């Protein structure tokens, strides 16, 4: 997910590295939706960019995405509200929104643009949301689109009464349609209550909920993860907030979603004047001209990178991740059990033990030494297709079977798919919602795209596979990352879950992969509260017998023999990250 030299909070950039071996590809950042603020779509886009851009790239540049702003923004009139998007005080994009009367309700429309520097080049990403609401601002349908420059992915939702019971007024039916250049997929769901979009929360508050001291518990549907999630909204006192031209009276509104608490200032009419995320993302109401003036300074890129990296403490040093046979670390700074489950922290070469009230001791052993155990009966559930893991799509089925043609051994099939996906995809940081079907079409992406495609292709040939997210070690620090786990059935009622990494071309994945959660985007939100707070100490480290340790900063004494044992490599000093001395 993440990587070296410069990077962001929602988007980031990456550093180039020399490719020493065929195994050294690039570590791309993990995608995970950001704080669900009142303008969540733009927060999500920033996060997608952040995780997708923090990467180690090999002499490649990312093409600049073009957008026809005049055409896309023509629907916004003089009453539209414009906001600048800032990361730690620097401009990275803008949003524009408006409320349009429609029949017996309204259409809430919002467009956003982010401009990011990736590998020295500049790329743009766009997001568009339309929410259809009734006169009470209850959601009736929506259209959501995210375009990273390779073509948009669209999610269309239609809400109706409960199609199964028809009697419970709280239960509703939701028909989801996901459109990409590769085709269309439709799914019907039944929800326990009518959801809201982040886009219509402020209007819903203005329609009777903006009372100082009030607390609201709602369900928000995230069109990027295709799942509902609870949100708690606390309304504070009215304050004067700086606006375009003059101070504006607005209520202070605190929102908690996925363990992250954000703050927004909302007017009586439901307009958001300002919004702040603890991760450094801010949106501010501005004039159209000021909002649309964008730039991406180098300072922003560096700050974002620093915020993402976790530089471990301790006397033990990791030189070559592939040589690590056992890694024992302490994770602290946050209570991992509030964001991750024990089931996610344990298993597949990893074991976790709580220490005190918040710390966790995690030990990872080289997966190459894993032995088969009693068959996991739950593995079969990881054969089914999902909305963004389209393992039943004819194109994916054909590609997967072609990749393993002539191979019958399950472990050999898994390794072939790992190498195949690594060679198939061009390594580019991608601000997108990873759909396996779309990844197969574009054949570009970061760790999210590699993982989504591998999982879909593995399932297509009968190999249970699931998504793991967490941290991986790259050049002196740990970065957020995503990789697959595949189940290998070895017969006689025995099998094992094996972590693999098609992004890094590792089969199995090395022992510096620290898993924090399992699942798609809706589960990866658990990582958000960890960013910028999680700390790591390396307690113990075993490496491959006979491997040569690199002594950073060491010098060769005059007259010393040519072979000193460990390799002495003088390095420039580094403050807090491997890019600080850049």
* Number of residues that make up the chain: 582
Per-residue confidence at 191, pLDDT binned at 50, 70, 90? confident
For the segment 412-439, the average pLDDT, to the nearest whole number, is 88
Question: With pLDDT > 90 as the criterion, what percentage of the chain qualifies?
Answer: 33
**Three-state SS at 128:** strand
How does pLDDT run across 23-62, given as a tens digit for each residue? 322 233 222 222 333 334 333 333 333 333 322 222 222 2
For the segment 195-212, the average pLDDT, to the nearest whole number, is 76
Tokens of 413: 């099939």
Which residue is it, tokens 């959601």?
Answer: 139
**Three-state SS at 152:** coil
Prior bond of 508 cis (ω within 30°): yes
Tokens of 64: 């600049």
Q: What are phi and psi of 306, to 5 degrees?
A: -60, -35
User: Measured between alpha carbons, how far is 263 from 266 in angstroms, rounded to an integer?
Assistant: 10
**pLDDT surpassing 70 at residue 408:** yes
Which residue is it, tokens 């009777």?
Answer: 208
For the segment 297-320, the average pLDDT, to the nearest whole number, is 72
**pLDDT surpassing 70 at residue 216:** yes
Return the pLDDT at 123: 59
Return the pLDDT at 526: 66
Return the pLDDT at 198: 67
For the segment 236-245, the average pLDDT, to the nearest whole number, is 86
User: Measured between alpha carbons, how far is 316 from 538 in angstroms, rounded to an integer?
Assistant: 6
92-106, 143-157, 389-403: which is most confident:
389-403
Between the two ends of the chain, the Cα-to-Cα distance in Å is: 21
Return the pLDDT at 260: 73
- Write the CA distances from 160 to 190, 197, 403, integer angstroms: 10, 15, 42
Pairing verdict, β 494-499 and 514-518: unpaired
Closest by Cα among 48, 51, 517 to 259: 517
**pLDDT surpassing 60 at residue 300:** no
Per-residue confidence at 522, pLDDT binned at 50, 70, 90? low
Return the pLDDT at 48: 39
Residue 48: Cβ-neighbour burial (10 angstroms; 0-12, 13-18, 19+): buried
**pLDDT surpassing 50 at residue 508:** yes
Q: Judge whether 434 and 52 are in contact, CB under 8 Å.
A: no
Return the pLDDT at 205: 84
Tokens of 568: 């002495």
Tokens of 277: 């995320």
User: Measured between alpha carbons, how far is 430 from 448 in angstroms, rounded to an integer?
Assistant: 9
Outline which parts of the chain fall under CATH 3.10.620.30.
321-543
User: Measured between alpha carbons, how far is 332 from 108 in angstroms, rounded to an integer?
Assistant: 42
Tokens of 559: 């007259």
Return the pLDDT at 478: 92
For the segment 272-284, the average pLDDT, to the nearest whole number, is 82
Run of H or E residues at 218: strand 215-222
**pLDDT surpassing 70 at residue 539:** yes
User: Measured between alpha carbons, how far is 231 from 205 in angstroms, rounded to an integer?
Assistant: 13
How does pLDDT run across 1-26, given as a tens digit for each residue? 433 333 333 333 332 333 332 232 22
Return the pLDDT at 301: 53
How far does CA 573 lie from the centroid of its chain? 31
Return the pLDDT at 271: 83
User: Measured between alpha carbons, how far is 465 from 485 in angstroms, rounded to an integer?
Assistant: 6
Prior bond of 190 cis (ω within 30°): no
**pLDDT surpassing 90 at residue 472:** yes
**pLDDT surpassing 90 at residue 385:** yes
For the segment 150-159, the average pLDDT, to the nearest whole number, is 83
What topology does CATH give the domain 321-543?
A: C8orf32 fold (3.10.620)
Closest by Cα among 85, 92, 128, 83 to 7: 92
Whole-number CA gyration radius for the chain: 24
Q: Provide the whole-model pTM.
A: 0.68
When mean pLDDT is compared across 42-46, 264-268, 295-299, 444-448, the lowest value belongs to 42-46
Per-residue confidence at 488, pLDDT binned at 50, 70, 90? very high
User: Measured between alpha carbons, how far is 494 from 151 in angstroms, rounded to an integer?
Assistant: 43
Which residue is it, tokens 């908690």?
Answer: 256
**pLDDT surpassing 70 at residue 532:** yes
Question: With pLDDT > 70 as the criterion, what percentage of the chain qualifies?
Answer: 70
When mean pLDDT is compared across 51-65, 482-496, 545-559, the lowest value belongs to 51-65
Q: What are phi and psi of 337, to 5 degrees?
A: -75, -10
Name 296's Cβ contacts closer than 8 Å, sequence gap at least 6: 90, 92, 115, 116, 117, 122
Number of Cα atoms under 13 Å in the Cβ half of residue 134: 7
Average pLDDT, the chain: 76
Return the pLDDT at 2: 38
User: Measured between alpha carbons, how far is 3 from 308 in angstroms, rounded to an integer?
Assistant: 8
Per-residue confidence at 174, pLDDT binned at 50, 70, 90? confident
Pairing verdict, β 281-286 and 324-332: unpaired
For the segment 480-485, the average pLDDT, to the nearest whole number, is 92
Name 449's Cβ contacts closer than 8 Å, sequence gap at least 6: 425, 430, 432, 434, 439
Give the residue, 401 or 122, on which the prediction is more confident: 401
Return the pLDDT at 65: 28
Return the pLDDT at 476: 87
Q: Could you tell me if residue 550 is left (phi over 0), alpha (psi between -120 and 50 degrees) or otherwise beta?
A: beta
**pLDDT surpassing 50 at residue 180:** yes
């Amino acid at each position: 997910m993440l990587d070296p030299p410069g990077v962001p909070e929602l988007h980031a950039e990456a550093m180039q590295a020399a490719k020493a071996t065929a195994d050294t590809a690039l570590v791309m950042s993990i995608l995970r939706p950001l704080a669900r603020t009142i303008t969540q779509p733009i927060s999500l886009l920033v996060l997608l960019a952040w995780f997708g851009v923090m990467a180690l790239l090999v002499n490649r540049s990312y093409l600049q995405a073009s957008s026809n702003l005049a055409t896309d923004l023509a629907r916004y009139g003089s009453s539209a509200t414009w906001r600048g998007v800032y990361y730690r005080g620097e401009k990275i994009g803008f949003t524009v929104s408006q409320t349009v009367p429609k029949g017996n309700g309204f259409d809430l429309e919002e467009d956003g643009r982010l401009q990011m520097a990736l590998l020295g080049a500049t790329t743009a990403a766009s997001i568009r949301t339309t929410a259809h609401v009734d006169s009470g601002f209850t959601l009736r349908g929506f259209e959501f689109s995210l375009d990273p420059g390779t073509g948009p992915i669209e999610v269309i939702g239609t809400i109706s009464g409960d199609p199964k019971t028809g009697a419970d007024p709280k239960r509703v039916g939701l028909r989801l349609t996901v459109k990409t250049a590769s085709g269309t997929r439709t799914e019907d769901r039944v929800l326990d209550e009518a959801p809201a979009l982040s886009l219509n929360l402020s209007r819903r508050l203005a329609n009777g909920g903006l009372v100082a001291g009030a607390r609201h518990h709602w369900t928000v549907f995230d069109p990027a993860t295709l799942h509902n999630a609870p949100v708690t909204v606390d309304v504070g006192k009215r304050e004067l907030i700086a606006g375009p031209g003059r101070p504006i009276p607005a209520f202070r509104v605190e929102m908690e979603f996925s363990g992250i608490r954000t703050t927004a200032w909302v007017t009586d009419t439901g307009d958001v004047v300002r919004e702040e995320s603890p991760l450094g993302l801010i949106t501010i109401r501005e004039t159209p001209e000021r909002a649309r003036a964008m730039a991406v300074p180098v300072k922003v890129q560096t700050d974002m990178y620093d915020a993402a990296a976790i530089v471990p403490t301790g006397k033990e040093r990791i030189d070559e991740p592939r040589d690590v046979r056992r890694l024992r670390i302490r994770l602290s700074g946050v209570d991992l059990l509030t964001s991750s489950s024990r089931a996610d922290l344990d298993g597949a070469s990893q074991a976790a033990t709580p220490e005190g009230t918040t710390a966790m001791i995690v030990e990872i052993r080289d997966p190459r030494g894993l032995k088969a155990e009693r068959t996991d009966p739950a593995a079969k559930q990881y054969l089914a297709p999902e909305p963004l893991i389209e393992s039943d799509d004819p194109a994916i089925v054909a590609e997967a079977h072609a990749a393993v043609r002539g191979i019958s051994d399950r472990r050999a099939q898994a390794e072939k798919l790992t190498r195949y996906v690594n060679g198939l995809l061009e390594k580019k940081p991608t601000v997108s919602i990873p759909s396996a079907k779309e990844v197969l079409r574009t054949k570009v992406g970061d760790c999210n795209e590699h993982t989504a495609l591998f999982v879909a292709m593995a399932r297509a040939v009968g190999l249970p596979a699931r998504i793991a997210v967490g941290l991986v070690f790259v050049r002196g620090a740990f970065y957020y990352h995503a990789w697959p786990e595949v189940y290998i059935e070895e017969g006689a009622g025995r099998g094992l879950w094996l972590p693999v990494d098609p992004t890094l071309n590792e089969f199995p994945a090395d022992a510096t992969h620290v898993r924090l959660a399992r699942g798609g985007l809706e589960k990866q939100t658990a990582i958000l509260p960890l960013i910028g707070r999680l700390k790591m100490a390396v307690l113990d480290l075993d490496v491959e017998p006979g491997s040569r340790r690199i002594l950073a900063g060491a010098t060769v004494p005059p007259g010393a023999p040519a072979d000193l044992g460990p390799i002495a490599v003088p390095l420039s000093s580094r403050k807090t990250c491997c890019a600080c001395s850049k």
